[in-house]
Amino acid sequence: MTKKLGVLTGVLMLMLSIAIGIGAAQNNDKQMDQTADKIAQQQAGHEPHMAAALEHLRQAADELEKATPNKGGHREKALQLTRQAMTQVEQGIQYYNQHPPKK
């Protein structure tokens, strides 16, 4: 009985730590989404194409995350490149905000 209780406790602790890890990853994704949302909202009136591109890239990253990982490493590389593209778009938006075009 004591051995079963110990195994059960170990399994429950493992499940809890997995759930905490998943929650932390989801929180990080939410923070990234909130940052992207804020940038997209700022740009929607000034540069709607950059805002739209950022949203499309975010959707692409979400779809790549959901895809099964058995693609010979290509899914992972595509996800990495998509995230790099998101960073470049965000940096472009920040640059535009700091250097608005002269009218």
Kindly report, residue by residue over 4-47, the tens digit of the pLDDT. Answer: 555 656 555 666 667 676 666 666 666 666 666 665 555 555 78
Cα–Cα distance, 46 to 23 (Å, whole number): 35
Of the candidates 18, 43, 26, 54, the one whose C-alpha atom is nearest the C-alpha of residue 97 is 43
Beta carbons of 53 and 89 less than 8 angstroms apart: yes
DSSP 64-98: HHHS-S-STTHHHHHHHHHHHHHHHHHHHHHHHHH
In this prediction the pTM is 0.58
> Which residue shows structure tokens 């994704």?
29
Average pLDDT over every residue of 84-95: 95
Burial of 52 (0-12, 13-18, 19+ CB in 10 A): middle
Model pLDDT, residue 45: 58
Higher pLDDT, 67 or 10: 67
Of the candidates 2, 1, 4, 66, the one whose C-alpha atom is nearest the C-alpha of residue 29 is 66
Model pLDDT, residue 102: 82
Average pLDDT over every residue of 59-70: 95
Average pLDDT over every residue of 69-86: 95
